[in-house]
Amino acid sequence: MMTGNTRTSFQIRSTLKQLAVVLLLATSSAQASIQSCLCTALQPGGLRVNCSSLNIVDVPRLPPDTTELHLQDNQLTVVPPGLFDRLPRLMRVSLAGNPFHCDCRIQYLRNWLLRNRDVVSQEPACASPSSVAHALIADLSDAHFDSCARKMCSGGAYAVLIGAMLFGLIVLLMWGLRLAKNSTFTLDINERHAGFQADSLRSLKPKHRKRLQSELSEITETWSDDDLERPLINMELLPQILDVLHKKHNIKIKST
């Protein structure tokens, strides 16, 4: 038999629990009307959360020990995926009177209703789109959500393709930078400074070097004697040019 002190202690604990739940609901949503949700402790345990007829558009954060949830006659268009899965003690839900939009986002609620029809006091219906208006959410067929699966697959494949292309581009750029950093170029200038001859290029194969030498020889043959005698390089600036090429670009030039 419960004594007077025991009843008083239980009432105090219940009152404190209700106050804590009201404070949680008041601070977890941007809706000012959420403060009007009525929370009542149930016997022998559990919690009734009544947020009906408050014109809320989002479901507030709910205590995990919620056993009764009343959300009817509001402005809810969707239920966040996983909402009811986080309420393991939920025994009763009221969702009727909300303008639910039955697109791909309503699939979670539809699947949950199919598994928990005995928990729902009055099954909610679709308000839009017009093709399924007034139809019960739980009665929506799998064909109604076929387009959702295609969108998810196409969107995922596109994201994977873009990611792979970006990764390949990054790898290619890094490889090019590393190759340029490790490459060494040595240019040989003849005594008349008539042009440049590639003496050692790591990136050139022997046949490419031979072809380059042949092309340079043909160009030299077309020059006149005046062109050959006139220096093409300002010899006063040559040391500075060689120093900059060597230090900043790792290009070694030797004159002969």
DSSP string of 37-106, one letter each residue? -EEEE-SSS-EEEE-TTS--SSPPP--TTEEEEE--SS------TTTGGG-TT--EEE-TT--EE-SGGG
Q: Which residue has the higher pLDDT, 54 or 254?
A: 54
pTM here?
0.49
Kindly state whether residue 29 falls inside one of the protein's structural domains. Answer: yes
CATH number assigned to the domain comprising residue 117? 3.80.10.10
Q: Which residue has the higher pLDDT, 150 or 5?
A: 150
Q: Which residue has the higher pLDDT, 200 or 139?
A: 139
Residue 195 has pLDDT above 50, yes or no: no
Per-residue pLDDT of 203-241, as tens digits, reads 455 666 667 667 667 666 665 666 555 555 556 667 777
18 and 74 share one domain:
yes
194 and 126 share one domain:
no
Kindly state whether residue 72 falls inside one of the protein's structural domains. Answer: yes
DSSP letter, residue 125? B
Q: Which residue has the higher pLDDT, 59 or 177?
A: 59
9 and 136 share one domain:
yes
Kindly state whether residue 119 falls inside one of the protein's structural domains. Answer: yes
Kindly state whether residue 112 falls inside one of the protein's structural domains. Answer: yes
Per-residue pLDDT of 2-36, as tens digits, reads 555 555 554 556 655 565 554 455 444 434 344 57
Kindly state whether residue 241 falls inside one of the protein's structural domains. Answer: yes
What residues does 68 pair with on adjacent strands? 48, 92
Q: Which residue has the higher pLDDT, 131 or 221?
A: 131
When the pLDDT of each residue in the chain is averaged and rounded to a whole number, the result is 76
17 and 128 share one domain:
yes
Domain that holds residue 212: 182-255
Kindly state whether residue 161 falls inside one of the protein's structural domains. Answer: no
- Tokens 């190759």 appear where? 179
What CA–CA distance (Å, rounded) separates 48 from 26?
A: 16
Kindly state whether residue 100 falls inside one of the protein's structural domains. Answer: yes
124 and 65 share one domain:
yes
16 and 136 share one domain:
yes
Cβ(67)–Cβ(48) below 8 Å: yes
Q: Which helix (H) or strand (E) holds 112?
A: helix 107-115
Kindly state whether residue 162 falls inside one of the protein's structural domains. Answer: no
Q: Which of 29, 30, 130 is nearest to 49 (CA)?
A: 29
12 and 132 share one domain:
yes
End of a domain among 113, 143, 173?
Answer: 143
191 and 123 share one domain:
no
211's torsion region: left (phi>0), alpha (psi -120 to 50) or beta?
Answer: alpha
186 and 76 share one domain:
no
- Total domain count for the chain? 2
135 and 186 share one domain:
no
Q: Which residue has the higher pLDDT, 151 or 119?
A: 119
Can you give the pLDDT at residue 200? 45
Residue 148 has pLDDT above 90, yes or no: no
54 and 120 share one domain:
yes
